[in-house]
Amino acid sequence: MSLEEIVTPLKTLWKFDYETNVKALRDLYEMAKKEQWNAASDIP
């Protein structure tokens, strides 16, 4: 996987292409989808 450089005062490297076979990332994503607030239903 390649890293993309973002020019800042400090050198920053960012990896945009996370592998979908990383179980911890998939689990975190699924939990975030469930826990995310929804303005249509959460704001009276």
CA 17/CA 31 separation, integer angstroms: 20
pLDDT at 42: 82
pLDDT at 18: 65
pLDDT at 40: 83
Q: What does the pLDDT look like over 1-44, one tens digit per residue?
A: 677 777 889 877 777 666 666 788 889 889 988 888 888 888 88
Is the CB of residue 22 less than 8 Å from the CB of residue 29? no
pLDDT at 20: 65
pLDDT at 13: 75
